[in-house]
Amino acid sequence: MTTKEIVDGERAKQLLNDELLNRAIDDIELQYIDAWKKTGISDADEREKLWHAYKAVEAFRIHLRTTVDSGTVAAAIQGRKGRPGMS
């Protein structure tokens, strides 16, 4: 675990707490869902594309959450190393 992981985790947490970024991501997700709902019965390829786009946005959020978690773990490990009797 590195200091970079801690810094990245803190930055990812800031991003996840950023109101403008969250509104933008929410809007994009809703646009994909709305477009998906409006596809015709024979538009399977379009639905598939929209599903993948929606999942990409979801993966972005998951990646940020994972980065936060990694940073939290790295900070905890680093904190332990500074205490007597811990390594």
Please give the pLDDT value at position 1. 64
Please give the pLDDT value at position 82. 64
For residues 15 and 18, give the distance between their C-alpha atoms in angstroms, rounded to a whole number: 5
Residue 36 burial (CB < 10 Å; 0-12/13-18/19+)? middle
Higher-pLDDT residue of 2, 33: 33
| pLDDT digit string, tens, across residues 58-76 | 999 999 999 999 999 999 9
For residues 52 and 86, give the distance between their C-alpha atoms in angstroms, rounded to a whole number: 45
| pLDDT digit string, tens, across residues 5-48 | 999 999 999 999 999 999 999 999 999 999 999 999 999 999 99
Break the chain into its structural domains and give their ranges.
Answer: 3-81
